[in-house]
Amino acid sequence: MQMTTQELIEKFCMNTLSATGMLYREKLYGQMLVLLYSSIDSMGLLDAPPTQASASGESFKNWVKKNLLTYPGLEYNEVDLWAARCAVLHTFTSESDLSKGGKAREVQYYSGPKDSPMAQAFVAATKAIDNGKHVPAHIEATYLAFLEALKVFPQDLLNNCGKDPAYEARLKKVLQQFAL
């Protein structure tokens, strides 16, 4: 039985929520970031102009700017997060070619209560390293921002699919279900 467009979108979002939630609860933050960044790649492509056939840095950054950075309290920008995505996915570190080249700040992740003395010291130290070449990223706030974006994105995508069948055709290629 073939799923409707709405069902495909909902299934993708629910599976993403389930998988990232499991990793988050187990405090497997590095692995959660891999999945979070990969999901943003996919959603960025799905939100890009319908003629775009593959995910790109621009589609990732545009999606982040539109959907994630609206969440209050995040200190990084879309370029920093693209560089962080490249670092995590390619080397599982915080250093990327963009951060090495001075084109993005290196994202330093931390977890726990933001108002704790240790967190505040970490944030201050991170900002002071190399004269501002690093930016702190609270894992919990980043994940909550992602969850908020997952609430809004499905309707935007469904609206795009209703306006232009090319969105829907691409969606059906990208969000394939792998059932046996």
Residues 6+ apart with CB under 8 A from 4: none
Position 177 scores a pLDDT of 66
Which range of residues forms the domain containing residue 15? 5-174
Q: Which residues are within 8 A (CB) of 125 and not within 5 positions of it... i.e. 6 or more apart? A: none
> Per the domain annotation, does 71 fall within a domain?
yes
In angstroms, the CA 41 to CA 89 distance is: 11
180 in any annotated domain: no
Give percent of the chain above pLDDT 70.
Answer: 97
Residue 50 lies in a domain: yes
Q: Is residue 20 part of a domain?
A: yes
Q: How confident is the model at residue 159 (pLDDT cuts 50, 70, 90)?
A: very high
Model confidence, pTM: 0.93
Q: How confident is the model at residue 179 (pLDDT cuts 50, 70, 90)?
A: low
Query: Using one digit for the tens of pLDDT, what is the confidence trace for 66-105?
Result: 999 999 999 999 999 999 999 999 999 999 999 999 999 9
Q: How many separate domains does the chain show?
A: 1
